[in-house]
Each structure stands twice: as structure tokens, then as C-alpha cells.
């Protein structure tokens, strides 16, 4: 990568006098077209099979959406069958909220999750959660900000419901035992997200997700919900009329398949960061491999905005082993500037994330980035500047940032951090209605796996809001379905159709999905699982 060598850039950083905003910045559309990874040439293809046939989709994701299944009927011979009312797939915030509400509504609930309960993107969230509660703010402004930031591609109905529900989501979280940062009078503190018109993000330090997950996990553990951890779902099942009716899980503890038959299924498997689209590093947890999209698509669920992903502007660029680690937007909300290798500002830091990321990529592409080695460049995040403005703020409000600095061997109060965009969030996903129901009957989808709220760009704090708001709603609705008649026959019959279609379209049959684990983990080679398909007898 070209750019200004590190030590030279450091001198420029220290000697720069003024930190004025650049006079003219490119218009957002123009900037995105030229520099945002979503618009990179060759990164999009048309889907050839399935409900979104003909739609544009990211190349790597398309490969998995049109992949062969990992199992067939023969694998399931003799497998244990377990029966329940509601099956929740995924143990992040959305899954927990859904499971808790379904249980509270009287349903028997099994929650199957790939790793441990709580291993998720939720636990990693830092910045906070949106709810319009301040005097100068209204749900209408929240709605307008969300739609505008999403380039008017969000679903107005879904967003309206979510913004009206937001204050109650915060109340519910407090009742689950989640703390928030309060001012001296006990009011909720708020901060502003990039691209919004009011201070609307409530938070707990920069540990919002950890605090949320701790409380929800404890609620779930102390309920009647039956939690199955280390139980990734490898396929969904349906009944005689195409109604989703359960799932096949692969138990990682004893390497066996188990069939869970359920009256309704709630899919809450989160995002895709570990697919490393366009070769970008990611901020996501180890299990964020887009499984839910693949599972639902095969069963016939409509997806949307498969060409739109969020690259968070401030991923750590260096040191290498921490590349991609997120630095919360809260740092920019607190007033931190972004500076290029010349020590100059180049963008309004509180523009939307896609805009800021594209601006960073522009600086690096045009040689004004800070260069570390052939493969690594970035720009400065001026944390010492924030500390100067408000002494003590880093330690008090952003302890996770200070901890990250320690791991890099630098003190962010004295030295700026080097940042570069990191693959952060899947903007689109499975099409849902106001109850979180997908286009497949009996299949609810909530959280990051669903689409429609964020349009083509998400603002900080709306994801945590979405997972609880829609998670709760879907939990209640899924529990209602238990009154209907049971299924006659529950199978993975949809796979024969899938295989036929893949063959007709000439797709390679050697790609297996869902991905389940990143390649680096060498899962397929694990002696414990013997290549996963051959179970131990």
C-alpha cells in the first residue's frame, strides 16, 4: 500500500496545528460509488437459484446461498427426535429476547446455539442502544434519521414500529437487570450517533453488549427454557405444507445429529462478518458465518439487500493480530477526530458510517494514509485530542478502549490509534413482517439475520434496539402458533428440490453450507468430528 511512512506520519500528527474541517468534501453518493467496498467491481453477481433469482448479491455470499447441503436423509437414520413448541436458533440478544417472551407466553422452548449461550455479536457491542427519550427528541425524528441514514431503502412500517417500541425496550432491559449509565440525578445519559439529529443512544460504558448479554443470559438460565449449547443447526425442516417445522442440529459434544420438531421456529443466528467479504478484516465474533441466511433461503425465504454491508470506519488497523477489532463509534461521538498521514482532518467524523469509511478508504487509496507495511495502512483516530478536551473521559466512559490500547502496547490518552474500516454488519437479510415472520410460514427471523430496518446503512444503536424489539414480538407470536394442529410429517424434503435446481443451474456441488465455522478453525479436519458428516457410532 502506498502512503506516508509511519514515523513520518507520527511527526506530522504531532506538529499539526489546526484541526479544522476540510472545506469541501465529496457528496455522499459520489464518494460511495468511488470508494465504498459495496460498489467494488466484480464483487457482485446475480443469484441463479432460489427465491431471489436474478437479484444482485455479494459474490462470496452467493456462493454459500447456492451451496449444497451438509446432510442427506441417510445421515438422519436413527437420529433422536425431540419435540417442542418453539425452537429458537441462536443464543445472542435476539434469540434470548424471543425465547424469554415465548416462555413467558406459556410455550415450551428449546434454544439451540452454535457455541456457548451468549457467544455472539451482542456481547461485543459497545456504543449503545437507541431510544428517543430526551426532551428535544421524538420517535418521528428517530424514524426520519433511520430511514435517511439507510438511503431511504428501509421498510417504513418496520422502522415505525421499532422506534415507537424503543423506550419500552429500555424499560424491559432494566427489568431484566441491565444497568445503564446515569447522570447524577438518575436520568439516562445519552450520546449522539453519527448521521443523527439528536442525542439518543443510551449505553453502559463501552460495555453495553456485555452488560445486556450478562443480564439476558442469567434470565434465560433461570427460566424453563431448555438451552442446548454447542448445537449448530445444519438444516431446517418443514412439514407437508411447506411450513417450517423444526431443525436438524449437530451436537458437537457427542457428534450426533438430533432432530428438533417444533410448532414454530425463530431464527436468530446473527451476521456474516467471518465471511471476510472483499478480504476485509471483521469485528464480528467467531460464529458470525451467515448460517441463518443459507438455511432460510433453502427453505424458500425471500431475502433483501444482499449487496449492502456495513464497514465500520474504526477497526484497528494495527497490530496485525488485532486487526479488525472494533473501536466504538462512541469515541467519535465524544469528539475524536480522524486524521490522515499529513495530520489533517478529511471528513466530518459524525457523518454516516458508510460515508466515513469511504473517506478513509479514499485517503488510503490516494496515498494520504499512514503506511505500516505493504499490506497495512490506516488513518489516525485522535484519542489524545479527546482526552485533552475532557480529561479523564477515556478511563471513565471508554474503559474497553483503554484496555485495547494496553493490548497494543500504547496509551490512547497519549498516542493516536491507527484505524481502517472493518466488516461489521449485514445491512440486509431475511424479509420479515411486523411480527418477524419471514415469507415461509412458521419461520420467524429476528436480529441481524433479518433485513429491512437499516436500508443500506445502519446507525449506531439501532441493531441492539432491533434485536430486542423484534425478538420480543416474534417470541410472543411464535408462542401463539402452538395452539394449532401438529405437523403430520416433518422432513428435509426441500433438499431434493435444492439439489435439482443447483444441478440445472450448473452450480458447483462441492461447496457445502452453511459455513458454521471460519476456515481458520480447521473444523472440517477436526479428529473429534471426523469430517463432520461421518458421525461416530
State how far the Cα of 315 lies from the Cα of 325, in Å rounded to an integer.
5
Q: Which of 26, 20, 37, 17 is nearest to 312 (CA)?
A: 37
529: left (phi over 0), alpha (psi -120 to 50) or beta: alpha
> In the range 189-218, which residues lie near other proteins by CB under 8 A?
205, 207, 209-210, 214-215, 217-218
Cell of 219: 434470565
> In the range 88-107, which residues lie near ligand FAD by CB under 6 A?
89-95
**Least CB distance from residue 291 to ligand FAD, whole Å?**
3
Binding segment toward other proteins, per CB under 8 A, in 23-31, 82-90, 333-341, 524-532: 524-532
Q: Would you count residue 448 as binding ligand FAD (CB under 6 A)?
A: yes
Q: Would you count residue 121 as binding ligand FAD (CB under 6 A)?
A: yes
Binding residue for ligand FAD, selected from 36, 58, 108, 114, defined by CB under 6 A: 114
Task: Give me the half-sphere count of Cα atoms (radius 13 Å) on the Cβ side of residue 236.
Answer: 34
Q: Would you count residue 357 as binding ligand FAD (CB under 6 A)?
A: no
Of 316 and 339, nearer to ligand FAD (C-beta) is: 316
Tell me if the bond preceding 27 is cis, omega within 30° of 0.
no
Q: Would you count residue 473 as binding ligand FAD (CB under 6 A)?
A: no
> In the range 322-361, which residues lie near other proteins by CB under 8 A?
325
Q: Would you count residue 139 as binding other proteins (CB under 8 A)?
A: yes
Our measurement of the distance from residue 292's CA atom to the centroid of its chain's CA atoms, rounded to an integer in Å, reads 12
> In the range 279-318, which residues lie near ligand FAD by CB under 6 A?
283-284, 287-288, 291
Q: Would you count residue 385 as binding other proteins (CB under 8 A)?
A: no
In the block, residue with C-alpha cell 486487526: 323
Binding residue for other proteins, selected from 94, 96, 154, 180, defined by CB under 8 A: 180
State how far the Cα of 412 lies from the Cα of 397, in Å rounded to an integer.
13
Binding segment toward ligand FAD, per CB under 6 A, in 111-119, 152-160, 174-182, 495-503: 111-119
Binding residue for other proteins, selected from 185, 375, 485, 510, defined by CB under 8 A: 185
Contact (Cβ atoms closer than 8 angstroms) between residue 339 and residue 416? yes
Burial (CB count <10 Å: 0-12, 13-18, 19+), residue 346: buried
Of 79 and 141, nearer to other proteins (C-beta) is: 141
In the block, residue with C-alpha cell 434485536: 467
Of 77 and 527, nearer to other proteins (C-beta) is: 527
Q: What is the DSSP letter of 282?
A: B
Q: Which of 41, 26, 130 is nearest to 355 (CA)?
A: 26
Of 159 and 295, nearer to other proteins (C-beta) is: 159
Residue 185 neighbours by CB distance under 10 Å: 5
Angle, CA 178 vertex, CA 174 and CA 183 arms, to 5°: 80
Which residues have CB under 8 Å from 343's CB, separation 6+? 9, 12, 13, 14, 15, 16, 380
Q: Would you count residue 42 as binding other proteins (CB under 8 A)?
A: no
Q: Would you count residue 172 as binding other proteins (CB under 8 A)?
A: no
Q: Which string of x and - marks every residue 414-453 that binds other proteins (by CB under 8 A)?
A: xx--x-----------------------------------
Residues assigned a catalytic role? 353
Measured in residues, the chain has a length of 537
Instruction: Enumerate binding residues for ligand FAD (CB under 6 A).
Output: 89-95, 112-115, 119-122, 124-129, 208-209, 232-233, 268-271, 283-284, 287-288, 291, 326, 425, 447-449, 460-464, 467, 514, 516
Amino acid at each position: 500500500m502506498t502512503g506516508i511512512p509511519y514515523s513520518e506520519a507520527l511527526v506530522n500528527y504531532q506538529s499539526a496545528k489546526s484541526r479544522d474541517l476540510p472545506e469541501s468534501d465529496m457528496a455522499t453518493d459520489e464518494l460511495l460509488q468511488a470508494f465504498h467496498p459495496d460498489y467494488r467491481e466484480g464483487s457482485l453477481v446475480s443469484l441463479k437459484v432460489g427465491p431471489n433469482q436474478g437479484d444482485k448479491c455479494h459474490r462470496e455470499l452467493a456462493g454459500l446461498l447456492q451451496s449444497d447441503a451438509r446432510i442427506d436423509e441417510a445421515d438422519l437414520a436413527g437420529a433422536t427426535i425431540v419435540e417442542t413448541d418453539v425452537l429458537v436458533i441462536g443464543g445472542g440478544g435476539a434469540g434470548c429476547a424471543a425465547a424469554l417472551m415465548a416462555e413467558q407466553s406459556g410455550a415450551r422452548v428449546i434454544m439451540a446455539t452454535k457455541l456457548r449461550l451468549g457467544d455472539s455479536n451482542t456481547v461485543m457491542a459497545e456504543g449503545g442502544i437507541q431510544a428517543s427519550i430526551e426532551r428535544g427528541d421524538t420517535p418521528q425524528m428517530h424514524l426520519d434519521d433511520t430511514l435517511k441514514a439507510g438511503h431511504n431503502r428501509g421498510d417504513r412500517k418496520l422502522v415505525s414500529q421499532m422506534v415507537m417500541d424503543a423506550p419500552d425496550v429500555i424499560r424491559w432491559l432494566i427489568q431484566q437487570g441491565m444497568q445503564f449509565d446515569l447522570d447524577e440525578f438518575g436520568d439516562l445519559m445519552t450520546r449522539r450517533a453519527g448521521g443523527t439529529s439528536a442525542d439518543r443512544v443510551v449505553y453502559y460504558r463501552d460495555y453495553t453488549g456485555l452488560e445486556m448479554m450478562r443480564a439476558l443470559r442469567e434470565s434465560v438460565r433461570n427460566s424453563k427454557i431448555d438451552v442446548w449449547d454447542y448445537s449448530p443447526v445444519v438444516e431446517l425442516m418443514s412439514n407437508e405444507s411447506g411450513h417450517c417445522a423444526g431443525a436438524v442440529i449437530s451436537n458437537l459434544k457427542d457428534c450426533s445429529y438430533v432432530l428438533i420438531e417444533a410448532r414454530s421456529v425463530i431464527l436468530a443466528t446473527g451476521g456474516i462478518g467471518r465471511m471476510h467479504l472483499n478480504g476485509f478484516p471483521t469485528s464480528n465474533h467467531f460464529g458470525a458465518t451467515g448460517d441463518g441466511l443459507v438455511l432460510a433461503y433453502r427453505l424458500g425465504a425471500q431475502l433483501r439487500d444482499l449487496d449492502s454491508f456495513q464497514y465500520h470506519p474504526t477497526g484497528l488497523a494495527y497490530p496485525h493480530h488485532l486487526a479488525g477489532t472494533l473501536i466504538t463509534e462512541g469515541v467519535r461521538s465524544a469528539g475524536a477526530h480522524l486524521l490522515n498521514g499529513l495530520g489533517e482532518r478529511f471528513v466530518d467524523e459524525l457523518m454516516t458510517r458508510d460515508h466515513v469509511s469511504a473517506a478513509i478508504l479514499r485517503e488510503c487509496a490516494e496515498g494520504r494514509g499512514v503506511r505500516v507495511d505493504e499490506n497495512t495502512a490506516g488513518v489516525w483516530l485522535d484519542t489524545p485530542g479527546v482526552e485533552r478536551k475532557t480529561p479523564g473521559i477515556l478511563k471513565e466512559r471508554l474503559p474497553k478502549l483503554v484496555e485495547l490500547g494496553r493490548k497494543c502496547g500504547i496509551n490512547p490518552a497519549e498516542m493516536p490509534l491507527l484505524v481502517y474500516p472493518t466488516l461489521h454488519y449485514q445491512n440486509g437479510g431475511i424479509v420479515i413482517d411486523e411480527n418477524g415472520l419471514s415469507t415461509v410460514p412458521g419461520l420467524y427471523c429476528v436480529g441481524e439475520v433479518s433485513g429491512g430496518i437499516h436500508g443500506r446503512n445502519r446507525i449506531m444503536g439501532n441493531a441492539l434496539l432491533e434485536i430486542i424489539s423484534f425478538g420480543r414480538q416474534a417470541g410472543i407470536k411464535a408462542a401463539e402458533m402452538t395452539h394449532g394442529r401438529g405437523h403430520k410429517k416433518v422432513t428435509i424434503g426441500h433438499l431434493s428440490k435444492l439439489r435439482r435446481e443447483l444441478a440445472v443451474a450448473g452450480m458447483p456441488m462441492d461447496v457445502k453450507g452453511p459455513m458454521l465455522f471460519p476456515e481458520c478453525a480447521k473444523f472440517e479436519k477436526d479428529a473429534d468430528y471426523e469430517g463432520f458428516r461421518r458421525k461416530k457410532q
